[in-house]
Amino acid sequence: MFKIQGSESCCNSSEHVVTPVPGHSALVLSQAAAPYVDSENGISFWGITDAAHGVTYGHVFPPLATSGAQPTEYIGEIVAPVANKWVGFSMSGSMISSLLIAAWPNNGNIVFTTRYATSNVLPDVYTGPVITTLPSSHVNSTHWKWVYRCQNCTTWKNGGSIDVNSTSSVPAWCASTIAVDNPANPATTMVQHTDFGFYFFPFGTAHVSAALYNNWAAGGTGGTLNLLLYNFPSARNRRHWRWLLIIDHHYQRGPTNTNGNSVMILLQISSFSAHMLLSVDYIIVGSGPGGIIAADRISQAGKSVLLLERGGPSTGETGGTYQANWTKGTNLTKFDVPGLFESMFTDANDFWWCKDITVFAGCLVGGGTSVNGALYWLPSDNDFALSAGWPSQWTNHQQYTSMLKARLPPTDAPSTDGKRYLEQVSTVVANMLIPQGYRNVTINDSPNAKDHVYGYAAYDFIGGQRGGPVASYLRTAKARKNFQLQMYTNVLNVVRNGSQITGVKTNDTSVKDGFFPLNPNGRVILSGGTFGSARLLFRSGIGPTDMINLVKNDPVAGPNLPPSSQWINLPVGYNAYNPSINMVFTHPTVDSYNNWATVFTDPPAADAAQYLKNRSGIMAQASPRLNFWSALGGSDGTTRWLQGTARPGAASITTTLPYNMRRSNLHYNRISVVGIKSRGRIGINAALNGVPLVNPWLNDAGDKSALIQGLKNIISTVPQVSGLQLIMPDNTMTMEQYVAAYDPSTMNSNHWVGSNIIGTSAGQAVVDVNTKVFGTNNLFVVDASIIPTLPYGNPHGHIMSVAEQAAAKILALAGGP
């Protein structure tokens, strides 16, 4: 939260749990903030204890007003082990333009500071709040506790505020193991926090009566605990669900206040969705496209499903709240508006990217489908062919692709008015391709046509908003009582006894050892993505020995490994696949939309207004405008295919040639080659972060020559298009020099596949034809990592078709629940 340099914000997916801490008794309900009572002062808080550092953050508000202004204050507490030199939080979940509060111990006292920042630098001291330290605050040899009243703390300057009536707010916490520079001075400088995260907090339910609040605010103790709960399953479903309700025995007897009088604990069953599913038929890890579709189809079959997501919400319907200022007052988040796609890569508050994977990976509900450009190509027959590495049992994909298309129809005109916007780039690129023999097609009407064709970009947007599996499959799954989505739950490893998986271990310390068990014959499905699922296998003793030994040497993860006699040696991490390269052109007719630089903070007013009115216009479409394909020969006789994406502008440009950015006359192509032989390896480092170990880019001579030829083909007709100029590569480089000098780190198209490849042999593959991990009885993988080669189009649609087929195969497999 507090920092001096860099661009990281205080918001990121992390661990958010409620557990008993010294001097506390916790009432545990879920991963979100839950009610608990501080046994020293009798105050009923709502809060969490973050699993990584053991710090409790609690808050309670005065009663909501029936009319007029809502409360502007609350009572809070922080209880922290002394290893935490300072901790802090942002009730709005953001570092920038938000009230920030931090505290630390000094000579037996608590020092606190209020700060405010307008950019990612050390926040300034902010004098608006009035904070009073309450009597039960103290420092001892193991912990320090700060209990305080915070007045004028729900609103702050520049119109910032929290909604104290909200039931889906996402505050942020941060902690540091590095002391502030001058502990006696609240205005001290300090270095960036060493960890941070955020969590769900139902502000609207964390209110008590005026009598209770005023008593506590004046330093009094004792009171009533309100437990709010709903959606208790009916008797006919109880075989699927087990509920956890823990009340410390001290409170069942009744604690005493400072006057020695007994305090009654009153449990009031009311209306808050805070339930926990403990033992289920299926645990699915990761809410990307594979996990969501598998969860929907399996719960549709009547099985109980727990879907665990390490990150938080995305779109408004999932509880997301991260909005552009121009969308305030709507339910539209950054992830809902298609035109904000390019800003995913330029926003300093990029909490949606996984911070422990060194390439782009989405850690939030929807995974990559909530942050990508949503290009949506229905797979071709060749995408599932034997020649593409698929087992024969998978070649008949049409019925599953048809199921996908029925649930989620593609569109190449996403604006609700049926018009296409910023289409100048489509005309220019088409004029370059037509002389080369390309023809115009509606691409998803002819999925098998992938040679010398071009067409308008197609998406899975719905009604001018981001659609994808979140707005389709997840929506129907959430309506079922046998389905539960739990966010902010980081699965660390599967728990297994030899070949049998018994459940998963998580960061959720609100359950014993963070363990979520399976029902008899239950199954676990990993859907954490190409990097995430591979790492989970390593941490579960499955994969190459060098990777498992890195886990073994980790002081936290190592003890969770099964004995080495139960390790399963599979080629996890190999066969990684992901190539692309960029070219930049200019043309006087093309509007680059200022390279999308201000679409989040300050888009053209007319465009923003048009979108808000009826979900039409430029903001109803992501930046890609046209796609094209052609077959390429190779020096080795192998056919490869070039796929291109053209868009007006892009998030970043590198060129030595001048171009008129003010006149916005730029357009950009991304070129990928599929059907190639180059492969790499991914894995983990000593910190257990997901990393590429061997880059998969152009390590085959035939691949490289095919790419160079394909690029030369594209630019061969540039002179035939009046006003068209190639500026990257510029006129000082040959295409061979350009490819040779291309930075490998920028060849990442974010389309990683293949780390847990499907096949018929454990020596050559990680999962079998039913997506079950070789050597296990009940562990499966359903995500991009099982795909043997990249499909012809962006893999977005291909992954979803794979998930449809995988779910059917898993359900049909004998021995399940």
Over residues 404-428, the pLDDT tens digits come to 999 999 999 999 999 999 999 999 9
Show the 3-state SS of 152-221: CCCECHHHCECCCCCCCECCEEEEECCCCCCCCCCCCCCCCCCEEEECCECHHHCECCHHHHHHHHCCCC
Q: What is the pLDDT of residue 634?
A: 65
Please provide the DSSP assignment of 738-799 as one string.
HHHHS-GGG---S--B-TT-B-S-TTT-SB-TTSBBTT-SSEEE-SGGG-SS--SS-HHHHH
Smallest CA-to-CA distance from 77 within 37, 125, 29 is with: 37
> Averaging pLDDT over each range in 242-246, 633-637, 792-796, which range is the top one?
792-796
Write the CB contacts of 402 (distance below 8 Å, at least 6 apart in sequence): none
Identify whether the C-beta of residue 276 lies closer than 8 Å to the C-beta of residue 515.
no
Q: Which of 16, 751, 796, 798 is catalytic?
A: 751
Mean pLDDT throughout 210-228?
71
Q: What is the pLDDT of residue 235?
A: 29
SS3 659: coil
> What region, left, alpha or beta, does residue 529 occupy, with left being phi > 0 and alpha being psi -120 to 50 degrees?
left
Which range has the worst mean pLDDT, 20-34, 55-69, 620-634?
Answer: 20-34
Please report which residue ranges of 555-621 form alpha helices under DSSP H. 605-614
Mean pLDDT throughout 444-472?
96
| Number of CB atoms found within 10 A of residue 409's CB | 15
**What band does 160 get if pLDDT is binned at 50, 70 and 90?**
confident
Cα-Cα-Cα-Cα dihedral of 573, 574, 577, 578, to 10°?
40
Residue 194 predicted with pLDDT over 80: yes
Enter the tokens of residue 225: 């605990």
Q: 8 vs 433, which has greater pLDDT?
A: 433
Count, residues in the chain: 817
In whole angstroms, what is the distance from residue 668 CA to residue 586 CA? Answer: 8
**What band does 169 get if pLDDT is binned at 50, 70 and 90?**
confident
Please provide the DSSP assignment of 469-488 as one string.
TTTTHHHHHHTSTTEEEE-S
Mean pLDDT throughout 533-560?
97
Give residue 478's identity as a one-letter amino acid code. K
In the chain the domains, ranked by start, together with CATH numbers, are: 24-223 (2.60.40.1210), 412-457+580-677+698-746 (3.30.410.10)
Identify whether the C-beta of residue 300 lies closer than 8 Å to the C-beta of residue 312.
no
Inter-axis angle of helices 795-812 and 398-407, nearest 10: 110
Regarding pTM above 0.85, the answer is no
Percent of the chain residues past pLDDT 70, beyond the cut: 86
| CA pseudo-torsion sign 789, 448, 721, 663 | negative
Show the 3-state SS of 612-652: HHHCCCHHHCCCCCEEEEEEECCCCCCCEEEEEEEECCCCC
Percent of the chain residues past pLDDT 90, beyond the cut: 61
Q: Compute CA distances 559 → 52, 318, 526, 552, whole Å.
A: 16, 35, 21, 7
**What band does 50 get if pLDDT is binned at 50, 70 and 90?**
confident
Identify whether the C-beta of residue 587 lies closer than 8 Å to the C-beta of residue 422.
no
> Averaging pLDDT over each range in 14-23, 51-60, 270-279, which range is the top one?
51-60
SS3 531: helix
**What band does 252 get if pLDDT is binned at 50, 70 and 90?**
very low
Print burial letters for 349-382: b (CB count within 10 Å at least 16), e (below 16): bbbbbbbbbbbbbbbbbbbbbbbbbbbbbbbbeb
Whether residue 729 has a cis bond before it, omega within 30° of 0: yes
Mean pLDDT throughout 72-86?
94
For 797, list phi and psi in degrees, rounded to 5: -70, -35
- 751 is a catalytic site residue: yes
Q: Compute CA distances 731 → 135, 704, 713, 740, whole Å.
A: 73, 21, 16, 16
Residue 754 predicted with pLDDT over 50: yes
Average pLDDT, the chain: 84
SS3 314: coil
Q: What is the pLDDT of residue 579?
A: 64
Q: Compute CA distances 45 → 78, 207, 213, 632, whole Å.
A: 11, 9, 11, 65
> Averaging pLDDT over each range in 47-61, 364-378, 564-578, which range is the top one?
364-378
Mean pLDDT throughout 436-453?
96
SS3 100: strand
**What band does 360 get if pLDDT is binned at 50, 70 and 90?**
confident
For 216, list phi and psi in degrees, rounded to 5: -65, -40
In whole angstroms, what is the distance from residue 701 CA to residue 635 CA? Answer: 8
**What band does 120 get if pLDDT is binned at 50, 70 and 90?**
low
Residue 39 predicted with pLDDT over 70: yes
